Amino acid sequence: MDGHIFGQQVVNGLVLGMIYGLIAVGYSMVYGVIGMINFAHGDVYMISAYITGITLSVLAFFGVQALLPTLFIALLVVMLVTGVYGWVIERVAYRPLRGAPMLTPLISAIGVSLFLEAYVQIAQGPNPQGIKPYMSGAFRFWTGTGADQFFQITYIQTVIVVVALGSMAGLAYLIGHTSMGRSCRATQQDPKMATLLGIDTNRIISLVFVIGSVSASIAGFLVTLNYGSFDFYIGFVVGIKAFTAAVLGGIGSLPGALLGGLLLGLLESLFSGYVSTDYKDVFSFSVLIIVLIFKPSGLLGRPAVEKV
């Protein structure tokens, strides 16, 4: 096994896993609080890619050229707009159906997903779109004396890892050490008792959707900078992968979302590098099935406890 090939696949897998983990956080948070799966979450990620491209184009039109201010402003705009999308999805597709049978909000979320895809396809066109490269260059790590005996992590991949870890750390602090985090945990454990104790559970649930959407928007922003292209259909595939990561790590667990994303990204990357890119999805889902057979709650998930 060549060290530089293995090292490069590990780097690629870690970067991909960070993206999956950021998106999986949204699935885990929504499921943890209201016990439902937001299948429109992947399309929020897709929306964030388009908002990134539009914002960068507008900034360039007005002459904003400096790299850091451009990226910082674009990220803030993307987070703000996609946060609004998350809030609207909760109010329109979930809150009116909160007491309905479980299948009803699931169908509603799928309907929202299809609506967002069609809306973006009509508004922006069906053809793939892209942005110019904003960062070039890479850190190289030599594994031998040959000219090609190295693996590298590009500057934008480094930014992805740093921003993803920073976002996860910030979210962990928010949930674990703030009054809003305590309200989220209380709503997750027992919504009725949380309401009796004076917690506005409707507001908390809306905030959870907003936070999950913002996490997906950060992932969409970073992926757009990395690959430079996007289309209206990218949310479906990435959303399914992130949902797989959430289930793999233990849906409802934020550390599990990150672990599941990293594991899924590494497995995909190593399988693509050493076996075949054509069957990497089959391999990833096969691993998920095996894990769920032996540990149905996921790697870090807790078995469901029925409340009486």
**Euclidean distance between CA atoms 14 and 45, whole angstroms:** 19
Q: What does the pLDDT look like over 188-224, one tens digit per residue?
A: 888 888 888 889 999 999 999 999 999 999 999 999 9
Q: pTM score, two decimals?
A: 0.90
DSSP string of 211-257, one letter each residue: HHHHHHHHHHHHHHHHH-EE-TTHHHHHHHHHHHHHHHH-TT-HHHH
Residue 46 — pLDDT band, cuts 50, 70, 90? very high
Q: Identify the bridge partners of residue 142 per DSSP, sorted by sequence position.
A: 150
> Can you point out the beta strands (E) in 149-190?
150-154
Q: What are the structural domain ranges in the chain?
A: 3-294
List pLDDT tens digits, range 226-235: 888 899 989 8
Furthest C-alpha separation in the chain: 68
**Residue pointed to by tokens 């949380």:** 194
* 3-class DSSP assignment, residue 108: helix
Q: Does position 55 have pLDDT exceeding 90, yes or no?
A: yes
E runs forming strands in 11-53 = none
Per-residue CA distances from 172 to 168, 181, 245 (Å): 6, 9, 18
| Number of helices followed by number of strands (H, E) in the chain | 11, 4
Report the C-alpha gap between 26 and 32 in whole angstroms: 10
Pairing of strands 150-154, 138-142: antiparallel
Q: What is the pLDDT of residues 104-120, one digit of tens each?
A: 888 888 899 999 999 99
> What CATH fold (topology level) applies to the domain 3-294?
ABC transporter involved in vitamin B12 uptake, BtuC (1.10.3470)
